Amino acid sequence: MKLQLPTGTFKAYLFDCDGTIVDSMPLHYLAWSKALAEQQCEFSEDLFYAWGGVSVAEVIQRLNKQQGLNMSVEEVSNRKESFYLENLPRLKAIPEVLEVIEANYGRIPFAVVSGSMRESVTASLTTLGLLDRFDALVCAGEYQKGKPDPEAFLLAATKLGVAPEFCLVFEDADMGIQAATAAGMASVKIVQTRQKASESVR
């Protein structure tokens, strides 16, 4: 399936990573499940997908507040990331986004704007041989306000030296689309049939 891109002159492409470049959402949910089970914390798959685009630290803070817990953000983040890295051999790219990347690489600069930690993003892109395609990465912990705030996208535009109105954003999460709009950027929604995490490991 070919992506329909909006008309306009775009001088940079900004990509979310998880669920946009890489089909990693089921693997991330498995990692969350394992890490949170150690803390006796519930995290339904429906809630996980509803919070798409929320940073790792923010997810833990929300769960703490919601369930009256006092989980360490750093400890749970590290456990979750380690479980995700174990699953990387199962990772696949999202074909229609990969097609855009390969067709436009070298023509205009690319950046990744993610709510995941840099280690996770770098590992995902390295696994698929895509890390060298990107001129800049903007990851969790490198900005103050997460999506739907536009800060991360504006930071990526600054890093690439391209005005926001000339950036095109690729996103799978509604919060990411809202952030792009707030940044004054056009966007493309990556719509996928949601795959249950349990199916991804059969």
> Quick one: 54 and 146 in the same domain?
no
DSSP assignment string, 125-146: HHHTT-GGG-SEEE-TTSSSS-
One pLDDT digit (tens) per residue for the chain, 202 residues: 689 999 999 999 999 999 999 999 999 999 999 999 999 999 999 999 999 888 889 999 999 999 999 999 999 999 999 999 999 999 999 999 999 999 999 999 999 999 998 999 999 999 999 999 999 999 998 999 989 999 999 999 999 999 999 999 999 999 999 999 999 999 999 987 665 444 444 3
Q: Which of 88, 118, 134 is the last residue of a domain?
A: 88
Residues in CB range of 115: below 8 A, 6 or more apart: 18, 53, 54, 55, 56, 58, 140, 146, 147
**Domain stop point among 88, 121, 139:** 88
Q: Is 77 among the domain residues?
A: yes
Same-domain pairing of 130 and 48: no
Has residue 4 been placed in a domain?
Answer: no
Q: How far is CA 67 from the centre of its chain?
A: 25
State residue 194's pLDDT score: 63
Alpha carbon distance 5, 94 (integer Å): 16
Provide the token pair at 27.
């693997």
At residue 201, the pLDDT reads 42
**Nearest CA to 139 among 119, 110, 159?**
119
Strands 186-189 and 167-171: parallel
Phi/psi for 22 (5° steps) reads -115, 140
The answer on 117 and 97 residing in a single domain is: yes
pTM recorded for the entire structure: 0.89
Residue type, 45: E
* Contact (CB, 8 A) for 180 and 153: yes
In a domain, 195, yes or no: yes
> So which residues are the catalytic ones?
16
- Number of folded domains that form the chain: 2
| Same domain flag for 99 and 69 | no
State which residues form the domain around 42: 25-88
Q: Within a domain: residue 2?
A: no
